[in-house]
Amino acid sequence: MLYMKTTFYLLLTLFACTNISFGEDGYRLWLRYETVKDKALLTAYQQKIRGICTEGNSPVLESAKEELTTGLSSLLSKKINTGTILQNNTILIGTAANSALIASLHLAELLQTGQEGYTILTKNIQGKNCIVIAANSDAGVLYGAFRFLQLLQTNKPLDRLSIVTSPKINIRLLNHWDNLNRTVERGYAGFSIWKWHLLPGYIDPRYRDYARANASIGINGAVINNVNANVQILTKDYLKKAAAIADVLRPWGMKVYLAAKFSAPIEIGKLKTADPLDEEVKEWWKKKVDEIYTYIPDFGGFVVKANSEGQPGPQNYKRSHAEGANAIADALAPHNGIVMWRAFVYSNETPVDRTKQSYNEFKPLDGSFRSNVILQVKNGPLDFQPREPFHPLFGALPKTSVMMEFQITQEYLGQGTHLVYEAPLMKEVLDADTYAKGKGTTVAKIIDGSAEQHSLTGIAGVSNIGDDRNWCGHPFAQANWYAYGKLTWDHSMSADEIADEWIRMTFSNDAVFVKPVKQMMLGSRETMVRYMTPLGLHHIMGDGHHYGPSPWSDKLGRADWNPVYYHRADSIGIGFERTEKGSNALEQYMPEVRKIYADAATCPDEYLLWFHHIPWNYQMKSGKTLWNELCTQYYKGVEEVRAMQETWSKLKNKTDPEQFEHVTMLLAVQEKEAVWWRNACVQYFATFSKQPIPAGFEQPEYPLEYYKNIRVQFAPGNGGGN
Ligand code: BDP
């Protein structure tokens, strides 16, 4: 017994003596609230924060209070009192409506914070030093509470706080491509977190932590089922399950939305048609929507994938997308619900360049959508590639509300094993200039409504969350969830700033750790582009599952599902001619944008093969031939992954050993796969260029045939029903 006791104390001392917290399994995400390590800072914080003062009461306010109390007691390693009396060194939280104290301050800042924003101020009130977290709504207070905790988590000074912020976009959603059988389409982090079979009886505690995490980054809603929707979601049983999720999300400022299948009136309504102009169909949607609101009074609305990749839609009845969207929108309007109508459509028959089809379909419909319809447009005109130019519909529909759809899950970006920080990709799109209303009309200004004064504004990110203990599979994939949320709130934040926050909150504030990790993250997206699809190449990944390289694929049912359709390599050169010499997809952009890309001589290298078919011996800006430059990019990509491994290996004692190992192993997989991409692609393209891999580069380990014969079976996220 004595022996056991001694061992126990020995172990305890051992843990206490190291600086590292053991067993970090990633569940806590960026909300770890570890006690502030810097002793001087800790003391300063402890002196400034003695308690929390709140008045008023609501579930959302309760969440804010609770988060602040638990977060601060852990960060400051002391008990935090809550009460309604203002004392020295208190944090005063609330709204003017629920707190007489806050009302008495007449804060001018609250004129700028809108419905969900907040202000955080260092203030002397009645001779007492306080920090005020005030907003116009309880949700605003909650967001402010998380931001305040973040200041401490990232070791920021609290002396002269003067933060005033409000979200630039109103509807900030995650789209779960989660099926009712719990598989996740394009999901690489396990099964769905929604345990449909156990709902509504059993509420997994994870739902609450999910909502907390989203609230901490400003996400205010979720579409909880796959866009390839199973119609069952609209039946009474499933609505009750959805309502149970909504009940957990609500105190964290989040609303539930559902993906609806266009043929629901037939499939569950037993009608003969789903024609949106049919009176019975309209009535069916109205009744169904009314029913939904009896279960979920604050239901947000529907996302609809119609006439896209085999899904039914209005065109089955020779009706337009607007007619389809409007019929459903009319049912939602009395309840203030919205329809997010996806623009990701391309026809089964049309031989037109696939990247042109969505614009061709929707441009003529501008102005014909109801005011509660918002068009959900993917960031690029093809499909979430490592790099695409921005979608030409951004800026082309002045009379329509248009929202952004990003894909956080890494379907085309290395799936579950590649470290790819997506903020640079998101920023590249948001900051792209559409020139729709002159210079500076960025994509961000289209979707935040400021370009055309739209008040219905939104953004959706296809979730990368599953039931893996650490939520996202790859420890660094959490950063993409985080970054997406941060950008939905404030698209002017830089990828650097966001990475900085995330690293500090997730791992450590130690500069020796933060600096190299940040550098590694910031370069990672470009690195992935290099070893997968450099110089504007696109969609050359494996058939169906999109895992690994397959530029040779030419056997899929439709031409525009095949990689050969996209790279168009031949004896002369490589690339998809999208200028007027080719498909002229470029004509869908404003003249100023066309000018940037139209001439191969001035077109940025990043987009060269997206817009041009370029001869193998063409001289690039680097002075190299296209062939040499292409090889250089592929090789550089691999080298950069090796550099990432090197960087990470030096941080062994700077982070949790379990996480360190996890990332180390995944980086090794990434290196292997980058080499696979490189070797497969350069050898395949060499069959067209008829040129050798330039001297000095390591020769591929295996011949092309070897790579062509690799069959990936059972890749995650592919199929499995809905
Ligand atoms: C593609 C995915 C497919 C989705 C589709 C969509 O491969 O699984 O259903 O997009 O967005 O990227 O509807």
Residue 628: which CATH number? 3.90.1330.10
Residue 294: which CATH number? 3.20.20.80
In ligand 1, the atom with minimum distance to the C-alpha of 228 is: 9
pLDDT at 494 over 90: yes
Sheet holding 162-165, edge to edge: 81-83, 51-54, 90-95, 128-135, 118-125, 162-165
pLDDT at 17 over 90: no
Distance 246 CA to ligand 1 centre (A): 26
CA 462 to each of CA 4, 378, 714: distance values in angstroms, whole numbers, following the listed order: 50, 10, 22
**Catalytic residue ranges:** 309, 383, 411
User: Is residue 184 in contact with ligand 1, taking CB distance under 6 Å?
Assistant: no
Q: Could you tell me if 213 and 138 lie in one domain?
A: no
- In a domain? residue 199: yes
User: Is residue 612 in contact with ligand 1, taking CB distance under 6 Å?
Assistant: no
pLDDT at 90 over 60: yes
In angstroms, rounded to a whole number, what is the distance separating the alpha carbons of residues 535 and 684? 16
- The answer to whether residues 135 and 144 touch, using CB atoms and an 8 Å cutoff, is yes
Q: Strand (E) positions, 194-344?
A: 221-223, 255-260, 301-304, 338-342
For residues 648 and 2, the model is more confident at: 648
User: Any idea what the Cα angle at residue 367 is, between residues 359 and 337, rounded to 5°?
Assistant: 100
Q: Could you tell me if 321 and 368 lie in one domain?
A: yes
Q: Could you tell me if 221 and 248 lie in one domain?
A: yes
In angstroms, rounded to a whole number, what is the distance separating the alpha carbons of residues 406 and 430? 11
CA 213 to each of CA 27, 378, 463, 672, 685: distance values in angstroms, whole numbers, following the listed order: 11, 24, 13, 33, 44
Distance 229 CA to ligand 1 centre (A): 12
Confidence of residue 10 (pLDDT cuts 50, 70, 90): very low
Average pLDDT over residues 24-28: 95
Site to substitute for ligand 1 among 183, 184, 185, 539, most atoms within 8 A of C-beta: 185
Average pLDDT over residues 247-273: 98
User: Is residue 543 in contact with ligand 1, taking CB distance under 6 Å?
Assistant: no
pLDDT at 562 over 50: yes
| Buried b / exposed e along 611-622 (16+ C-beta atoms within 10 A) | bbbbbbebebee
pLDDT digits 0-9 by tens, 345-363: 987 677 799 999 999 999 9
Q: Could you tell me if 227 and 315 lie in one domain?
A: yes
Q: Could you tell me if 299 and 438 lie in one domain?
A: yes
574, β-bridge pairs: 614
Q: Could you tell me if 191 and 144 lie in one domain?
A: no
Picking from 165, 197, 223, the residue at the C-terminal end of a domain is: 165
- Smallest CA-to-CA distance from 122 within 136, 112, 107 is with 107
Q: Could you tell me if 223 and 136 lie in one domain?
A: no
Q: Could you tell me if 235 and 278 lie in one domain?
A: yes
Q: Could you tell me if 204 and 121 lie in one domain?
A: no
Q: Could you tell me if 139 and 182 lie in one domain?
A: no
In angstroms, rounded to a whole number, what is the distance separating the alpha carbons of residues 175 and 187? 12
pLDDT at 513 over 90: yes
SS3 string, 500-554, reads HHHHHHHCCCCHHHHHHHHHHHHHHHHHHHHHHCHHHCCCCECCCCCCCECCCCC
- In a domain? residue 678: yes
Average pLDDT over residues 13-20: 42
Distance 282 CA to ligand 1 centre (A): 28
Residue 47: which CATH number? 3.30.379.10
- In a domain? residue 720: no
In ligand 1, the atom with minimum distance to the C-alpha of 308 is: 13
pLDDT at 18 over 50: no
Q: Could you tell me if 161 and 178 lie in one domain?
A: no
In angstroms, rounded to a whole number, what is the distance separating the alpha carbons of residues 597 and 619? 17
Confidence of residue 15 (pLDDT cuts 50, 70, 90): very low
Containing structural domain, residue 69: 2-18+32-165
DSSP 682: H
Confidence of residue 668 (pLDDT cuts 50, 70, 90): very high
Average pLDDT over residues 569-579: 98
- Least confident residue range of 109-123, 213-227, 347-361, 581-595: 347-361
In angstroms, rounded to a whole number, what is the distance separating the alpha carbons of residues 580 and 586? 7
Confidence of residue 722 (pLDDT cuts 50, 70, 90): low
- The answer to whether residues 502 and 30 touch, using CB atoms and an 8 Å cutoff, is yes
Q: What is the bridge-based pairing of β-strands 118-125 and 338-342?
A: unpaired
User: Any idea what the Cα angle at residue 590 is, between residues 323 and 439, rounded to 5°?
Assistant: 115
Identify the pLDDT of residue 690.
98
SS3 412: coil
- In a domain? residue 422: yes
- In a domain? residue 273: yes
Identify the pLDDT of residue 720.
58
Q: Could you tell me if 64 and 193 lie in one domain?
A: no
User: Is residue 405 in contact with ligand 1, taking CB distance under 6 Å?
Assistant: no
Number of domains forming the structure of the chain: 3
pLDDT digits 0-9 by tens, 133-169: 999 999 999 999 999 999 999 999 999 999 999 999 9
Dihedral over Cα of 672, 677, 680, 686: its sign: negative
Distance 243 CA to ligand 1 centre (A): 26
Tokens for 320, please give them.
């337009």
- Least confident residue range of 218-222, 553-557, 600-604: 553-557
- In a domain? residue 308: yes
Picking from 145, 165, 185, the residue at the C-terminal end of a domain is: 165
Number of Cβ within 10 Å of residue 349's Cβ equals 6
Picking from 165, 184, 212, the residue at the C-terminal end of a domain is: 165
User: Is residue 547 in contact with ligand 1, taking CB distance under 6 Å?
Assistant: no
- In a domain? residue 602: no
Distance 166 CA to ligand 1 centre (A): 32
H/E run at residue 125: strand 118-125
Site to substitute for ligand 1 among 308, 342, 383, most atoms within 8 A of C-beta: 383
DSSP states of 618-654? PBPTTSSBHHHHHHHHHHHHHHHHHHHHHHHHTTGGG
User: Is residue 388 in contact with ligand 1, taking CB distance under 6 Å?
Assistant: no
Q: What is the pTM of this model?
A: 0.96
- In a domain? residue 716: no
Distance 305 CA to ligand 1 centre (A): 10
The residue type of 515 is: K
User: Is residue 48 in contact with ligand 1, taking CB distance under 6 Å?
Assistant: no
- Smallest CA-to-CA distance from 571 within 678, 480, 685, 470 is with 685
| Average pLDDT of the chain to the nearest whole number | 95
Quick one: what percent of the chain has pLDDT higher than 70? 96
Average pLDDT over residues 109-116: 98
Distance 541 CA to ligand 1 centre (A): 14
User: Is residue 344 in contact with ligand 1, taking CB distance under 6 Å?
Assistant: yes
pLDDT at 532 over 70: yes
Number of Cβ within 10 Å of residue 270's Cβ equals 8
Indicate which residue's Cα is closest to atom 9 of ligand 1.
228
The rounded radius of gyration (Å) of the Cα atoms in the chain is: 27
User: Is residue 544 in contact with ligand 1, taking CB distance under 6 Å?
Assistant: no
Identify the pLDDT of residue 558.
82
